[in-house]
Structure 1
Amino acid sequence: MMTKVFRSPARHGYAVEVSPFVPSRVACAAAQYYGIAGCGTLLVLDQTETGICLVTSWQWGDGLFDVAWSEANEHVLVAGGGDGSLQLWDTANHSAPLREAREHRQEVYSVDWSQTRGENLIVSGSWDHTAKVWDPSLSSSLTTLRGHEGVIYSTVWSPHIPGCFASASGDGTLRVWDVKSAACRLAVPAHRAEVLSCDWCKYDQNLLATGSVDCSACVWDLRNVRQPVNQLLGHTYAIRRLKFSPFSKTLLASCSYDFSVRFWDFSRNQPLLDTVEHHSEFVCGLDFNLHIPNQVVDCSWDETVKIYTPGCLSAGPHGTGL
């Protein structure tokens, strides 16, 4: 497995996302001192034939915990910070954020940009137990959604249903929200421990996955949430983030505080396809490249961003995108 590595000394990676426009471009949200204290850095990186180079970077006064690219402008991204702020950055403007918003009362741990046509919205999730929806001006939030009884770690727009997003919380639940009515449509008691991540299947509007402190990932069908479609066991510490593949309905990846990234096919009796152990600290950020089938990007508290294609995806049925 060939791996390209970018080192960011004294910056511990929390999130990575591949550009929806530029196949080689990756953003990474990072923090000093493991996010406990110190500043944050937003890195924009480009993949080359031989490695990864820095395009630009910005410093922020507090740790940065998540990043999302605009789905409408290839130069623009949004990040969430430990000071409760959202910042809008522009790769064509190297000095300061275009805009910032400070409505959350605690850390913003999740940001996501809507993917369905006909809307252009940002959702944020915070340790203050609220999710907020914004337009890209970040002037003031359009709506604040309350219902979680714990920290919100993950907020993800549905790629299928306009005005719909999911959230995962320290209260153990997965929730599905309707922005127009500002209401929670479904609350799933997904785990008996904190839920740190959720994601939507790109091929089925009813399928979501959750990753938890209980070391398991669960795949849920929203039409019947009494029990998961599959429970994915193998990690030995909390699952920090998980992502569905953009190329295969039943493939997903998870990264963990056990220093590993695992790849799963939840349609199989033995769903674990591969375990990649190439970090020496918590793996916090994970994404699939939308443009290059089966290419994966991750980042870790070990101060590295890595780009690679895992062995299980470079051959066989998943390798063809089927």
Structure 2
Amino acid sequence: MSKRQAEEEHNGDSALKQGERPVATADDAEMGQFEDDYEDEFESEDEIMVAGADGEPDEEEGGQENGIDKMEVDQQTFIPGRHKLDAGQVLAPDPSTYEMLHSLEAPWPCLSFDVLQDQLGDGRARKKYPATVYAVAGTQAAQGHDKENEILVLKLSKLAKMDRPEEESEDEDDDDDENTDPILETRGIRIGTCTNRIRAHQKSSDDPSKPATTYTAAMTESGQVLIHDITPHLTSFDTPGFALDPQSNQPIHTIKAHKKDEGYAVAWSHASQPTRRLLTGDTRGNIFCTTQNADGTWTTDPKPFTGHKGSVEELEWSPTEANVFASASSDGTIKIWDTRSKAHRPALSVKASEHDINVLSWSHKTAHLLASGDDAGQWAVWDLRQWKPNTKPSPVASFNFHKEQITSVEWHPSDDSIVAVCAGDNTLTLWDLAVELDDEESQYTADVKDVPPQLLFVHYMEQVKECHWHPQAPGQLMATGGSGFGVFKTISV
């Protein structure tokens, strides 16, 4: 289904199908202006803007409780994604459940983005504030505004933790200005077409004083895949007086192998691999592999990987096998491939759902675990060691908590039991697969119907589409959707 068809079929609170463009409500606002849900005004100066932080409770009723005790359970407890708000009601976050919470509203939705690694350190202290995030996103402007579509390179800084006056800071490394307003800086690359999916690839320089080379691949509505080198854009954020060459906004390569077939699946090979490779999948079920040559040019294998009978919705490289990747499709199958196969046919195929499978995530800590999410709201975890030819394995875990399509699923980068899931019911949920209740604990959750004990946290975000863990800041998440961006960290992860 094309996005233009999707616009006609989806409106209001309808769930967003993988890759579909929502009906935007921006009133011709200029790209790059962001405002805070909790502030009436915002300041803008060129491409550097101050955006306020979320987290203050709303005066209206509708907040949710964090943690449920049997003696306090009310059968009318509001569960986001299950219950509907009445007219005039709004949900307000409970500040006590967040360590950090910020939101930014963009004039046009950015339904796909990627978090970038930076030079600020790996595994930085959990209480190191204010925080900084670098990211890249692609816009999906409404019909008639296609020329306004951009790739946005973002730097979010001065992201403060929740203001708790009654608590004294225990982190001596916290900056004195941790409570200042957040700052957003943007660099726009005008591309004139909607971005269905965008992913970044970064490879560190041999010179530690130089930033990593950062490429982005944007799968567009037109069917082309645009590869940009955004290293200069990132450099411009932190180098006073740095002037961007207009030529740096031009793609360094355009993949046209998909012709006019749009797609939603993009996956870069891992940074540890010597050769950059890019997988892209389209609605016809074709998967193409593009390789960067030694001289910096790019070559796309004209022969696609084929075998899916529906749209390729997601692609994931194996974390341990350089030539192995997985694909998910609207035909309900997950397939495992080996790029060395001359036949370009799948090595394994599993019927994993009776519905479209929208998303995949391959655990980087436990390489035999693969998570998937489908159109019916079910997400599952698979043990690839059980996948054999001519067999139909069962997932090692599956959850039906969400009642709308799963739009994003991602393993925690350093904890193989924690998974983040986004769904069309306006919720982003966090799960701890290590949780197993014993008989004594079960009695305290008996009155909480249909809520699995593995459910750790529910974050409400309108039309949430995609989420990513920050690879260097433990427990920090960034999400995007029809309502803009959110950056947060809960006290539970």
Q: Would the aligned equivalents of 2:269 and 2:276 in 1 still touch at CA under 8 Å?
A: yes
Q: 2:338: which partner in 1? A: 178
Q: How far did residue 37 of structure 1 move?
A: 8.3
Distance 1:108 1:164 in 2: 21
Q: Give the letter for the 2:369 counterpart.
A: L
CA contact (8 A) 1:200 1:209 kept: yes
Q: Secondary structure at the match of 1:75?
A: strand
Per-residue deviation at 1:140? 2.7
Displacement of 1:284 after TM fit?
1.4
Aligned to 1:193: 355
Q: Tell me, what secondary structure is at the counterpart of 2:279?
A: strand
Counterparts of 2:422 and 2:298 in 1: how far apart (Å)? 31
1:6 and 1:52 in contact (8 A); partners too: no
Are 2:273 and 1:117 equivalent residues in the alignment? yes
Contact 2:413 2:471 in 1 (8 A): yes
Q: Go from structure 1 to structure 2 and tell me whether the alpha carbon gap of 1:135 and 1:142 turns closer, same or farther (over 3 Å shift).
A: farther
| Matched residue count | 308
- 1:244 and 1:143, CA in 2 relative to 1: closer, same or farther beyond 3 A? farther
Q: What is the alpha-carbon distance in structure 1 between the residues aligned to residue 298 and residue 428 of structure 2? A: 34
Find the aligned partners of 1:220 and 1:163 in 2 and give their Cα distance. 20
- Structure 1 position 27, deviation (Å): 1.1
In the alignment, structure 1 residue 140 sits paired with structure 2 residue 294? no
CA distance in 1, matches of 2:401, 2:351: 21
Q: Which residue of structure 1 lines up, in the alignment, with residue 400 of structure 2? A: 233
Question: 1:170 Cα deviation (Å)?
Answer: 0.3
Q: Corresponding residue for 1:7?
A: 105
User: In the alignment, which residue of structure 1 is the partner of 2:324?
Assistant: 164
Q: 1:30 Cα shift?
A: 2.2
- 2:285 aligned to which of 118, 129, 147: 129
Residue 78 of structure 1 aligns with an amino acid whose one-letter code is: A
Q: Give the equivalent residue in structure 2 for 1:275.
A: 458
Report the equivalent of 1:101: 255
In structure 2, the residue matched to 1:61 is 192
* CA distance in structure 2 between the aligned counterparts of 1:274 and 1:67, rounded to whole angstroms: 27
- The Cα of 1:22 is off from its aligned counterpart by 4.9
In the alignment, the residues of structure 1 paired with residue 408 and residue 374 of structure 2 have an alpha-carbon distance, to the nearest angstrom, of: 9
Whether the aligned pair in 2 keeps the contact of 1:45 and 1:52 (CA below 8 Å) is no
Q: Which amino acid aligns with 1:131?
A: I
Report whether the alignment pairs 1:296 with 2:477.
yes
Q: Does 1:17 align with 2:125?
A: no
What amino acid sits opposite 1:54 in the alignment? E
Q: How does the TM-score come out when normalised to structure 2?
A: 0.59
Please state how far the C-alpha of 1:213 moved relative to its aligned partner. 0.6
Match of 1:27 among 117, 136, 158: 136
Range 286-295 or range 93-102, more displaced = 93-102
Aligned equivalents of 1:142, 1:209: Cα separation in 2: 30
Distance 1:52 1:82, change over 3 A: farther
Q: Structure 1 residues 202 and 143, CA, compared in 2 at 3 Å: closer, same or farther?
A: farther
Q: Is the 8 A contact 2:267 2:316 kept in 1?
A: yes
Shift of 1:142: 6.2
CA contact (8 A) 2:285 2:306 kept: yes
Contact 1:37-1:62 at 8 Å conserved across structures: no
Q: Distance in 1 between matches of 2:419 and 2:303?
A: 31
For 1:171 and 1:117, how far apart are their aligned partners in 2?
Answer: 31
Relative to structure 1, is the Cα distance of residues 161 and 89 closer, same or farther in structure 2, using a 3 angstrom cutoff?
same
Structure 2 unaligned spans of 5+ = 1-97, 121-132, 160-181, 204-211, 233-246, 388-392, 437-452
Distance 1:311-1:58 versus aligned 2 partners, 3 A rule: same
- Aligned in 2, Cα 1:204/1:178: closer, same or farther, shift over 3 Å? same
SS in 2 for 1:312: coil
* Contact 1:252/1:263 (8 A) holds in 2: yes
Between stretches 248-257 and 102-111, larger displacement belongs to 102-111
* Aligned residue type for 1:19: L
Q: Is 1:309 aligned to 2:489, yes or no?
A: yes
Partner of 2:55: none
Deviation at 1:90, TM superposition (A): 2.1
2:301 aligned partner, one-letter code: S
- Distance in 2, matches of 1:153 and 1:267, equals 28
Deviations 1:269-319 (A, max 9, x none): 422111100x22x211211100101110110012x1111112321xxxxxx
Q: What is the RMSD computed on CA atoms of the aligned residues?
A: 2.0
Whole-Å separation in 2 of the counterparts to 1:53 and 1:111: 27
Q: For the structure 1 residues 285 and 138, does the alpha-carbon distance in structure 2 shift closer, same or farther, using more than 3 Å as the test?
A: farther
The answer to whether the 8 A contact 1:16-1:297 is kept is no
Closer/same/farther in 2, CA of residues 4 and 141 from structure 1, 3 Å limit: farther
Mapped contact 2:138–2:218 kept (Cα < 8 A):
yes
Q: Tell me, in whole angstroms, the C-alpha distance in 2 between the residues paired with 1:29 and 1:311.
A: 30
